[in-house]
C-alpha cells in the first residue's frame, strides 16, 4: 500500500554523519512515520517526502547542545519529534517522551516495541503535577512546534533541575520571540537565553533553537534510574 523512498542522495552524507552506525534504526523510524504515522494521523501525507531533512535531521541536530549522559524530557512529543531521532543519534541519553494524546502515545509505544531504544513514554501534559513528579529534575527539556516561547517555558522550566537547560526548536522568528518575552522569561527563572543554530556543518538548513538555562544554586538532584 505504501512505497517508502530511500534516503535522498543529497541527504545521505548528513544522515550518515548524524546517525552513524545507527542509521538503520533511523531508517526504521522514518519508514514507520511514513506509513503508520500517516495512517494514524500522526503526520500529514504531505510531510512524507520531507521527513529526513525537515523532521529527523532537524530534530537530531540539537544533540550537539546536550551534554553526555543527560536525562532528557521531550514535551508534546507527538510522533516522537525531536525525542526519538535524538535518542537514535545519542544512545548515551536517557530520553522521556511526554505526550497527552492516547493515539500518539500508542504510536510511540508500538514503534518502541520493535526497537531496543531506552525510551520512556509518559502520557500526560508537561504541566501536570503527576508528570512533574514522575520525570521532573531532568538535565534537558526539548520541544518542537509545541507553543509560543513564554508558554513553553512555563511548562519546561519546572521539569528541570536548577541550572538545567530547555531547548526549543523554533523557526526564523526565534530572535523576535526572545526579544518579546525576555522579561517574562526572567520572571520564570530563566538565566541565560540565546538563539543558536545546530548542524551548520552538515545541514543545508540548520536547526534554529532557543536555549534557556534555568537559574538556581540548589544542589542538583541525583539522576533518576531508568525504568
Instruction: For 63-98, write each residue's pLDDT tens digit.
Output: 999 999 999 999 999 999 999 999 999 999 999 999
Q: Tell me which residue range forms the domain holding 51.
A: 9-214
Strand partners, 169: 144, 209
pTM here? Answer: 0.92
In a domain, 225, yes or no: no
Residue 3: Cβ-neighbour burial (10 angstroms; 0-12, 13-18, 19+): exposed
In a domain, 222, yes or no: no
Give the Cα separation of 84 and 37 in Å (integer).
14
* Three-state DSSP state, 184: helix
Confidence label for 220 from pLDDT (cuts 50, 70 and 90): very low
In a domain, 2, yes or no: no
Confidence label for 37 from pLDDT (cuts 50, 70 and 90): very high
Q: What is the mean pLDDT of residues 3-27?
A: 94
Q: Which residue in 210, 184, 206, 205 sits closest to 197, CA to CA?
A: 206
In this prediction, residue 215 carries a pLDDT of 86
Confidence label for 3 from pLDDT (cuts 50, 70 and 90): low
In a domain, 129, yes or no: yes
> What is the domain count for the chain?
1
CA distances from 195 to 58, 149, 166, 174 (A): 15, 12, 12, 7
Instruction: For 158-200, write each residue's pLDDT tens digit.
Output: 999 999 999 999 999 999 999 999 999 999 999 899 999 999 9
CB 4 within 8 A of CB 31: yes
In this prediction, residue 116 carries a pLDDT of 86
Confidence label for 145 from pLDDT (cuts 50, 70 and 90): confident
In whole numbers, what is the pLDDT of the chain averaged over residues? Answer: 93
In this prediction, residue 4 carries a pLDDT of 80
CB 155 within 8 A of CB 126: yes
Q: What is the mean pLDDT of residues 101-129?
A: 96
Which three cell numbers mark 3?
Answer: 512505497
In a domain, 219, yes or no: no
- pLDDT of 122 > 50? The answer is yes
Residue 202: Cβ-neighbour burial (10 angstroms; 0-12, 13-18, 19+): middle
Give the Cα separation of 132 and 138 in Å (integer).
10
Q: Which residue in 212, 210, 202 sits closest to 61, CA to CA?
A: 202
- pLDDT of 223 > 60? The answer is no
Give the Cα separation of 161 and 103 in Å (integer).
30
Give the Cα separation of 13 and 186 in Å (integer).
40
Strand partners, 170: 208
Domain CATH code at residue 40:
3.40.50.150
In a domain, 224, yes or no: no
Give the Cα separation of 91 and 113 in Å (integer).
17
In this prediction, residue 18 carries a pLDDT of 98
In a domain, 4, yes or no: no
* Three-state DSSP state, 212: strand
In a domain, 92, yes or no: yes
Amino acid at each position: 500500500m505504501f512505497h517508502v523512498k530511500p534516503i535522498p542522495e543529497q541527504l545521505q552524507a548528513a544522515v550518515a554523519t548524524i546517525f552513524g552506525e545507527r542509521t538503520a534504526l533511523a531508517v526504521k523510524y522514518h519508514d514507520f512515520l511514513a506509513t503508520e504515522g500517516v495512517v494514524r494521523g500522526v503526520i500529514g501525507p504531505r510531510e512524507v517526502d520531507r521527513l529526513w531533512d525537515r523532521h529527523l535531521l532537524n530534530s537530531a541536530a540539537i544533540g550537539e547542545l546536550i551534554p553526555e549522559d543527560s536525562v532528557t524530557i521531550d514535551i508534546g512529543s507527538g510522533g516522537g519529534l525531536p525525542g526519538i531521532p535524538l535518542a537514535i543519534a545519542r544512545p548515551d541519553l536517557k530520553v522521556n517522551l511526554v505526550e497527552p494524546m492516547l493515539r500518539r502515545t500508542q504510536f510511540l509505544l508500538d514503534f518502541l516495541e520493535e526497537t531496543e531504544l531506552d525510551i520512556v513514554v509518559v502520557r500526560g501534559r508537561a504541566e501536570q503535577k503527576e508528570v512533574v513528579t514522575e520525570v521532573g529534575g531532568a538535565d534537558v527539556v526539548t520541544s518542537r512546534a509545541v507553543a509560543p516561547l513564554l508558554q513553553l517555558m512555563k511548562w519546561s522550566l519546572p521539569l528541570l533541575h536548577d541550572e538545567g537547560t530547555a531547548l526549543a526548536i523554533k523557526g526564523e522568528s526565534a530572535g523576535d520571540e526572545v526579544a518579546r518575552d525576555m522579561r517574562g522569561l526572567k520572571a520564570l527563572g530563566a538565566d541565560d537565553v540565546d538563539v543558536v543554530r545546530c548542524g551548520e556543518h552538515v545541514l543545508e538548513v540548520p536547526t534554529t533553537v532557543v536555549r534557556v538555562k534555568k537559574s538556581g544554586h540548589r544542589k542538583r538532584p541525583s539522576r533518576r534510574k531508568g525504568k
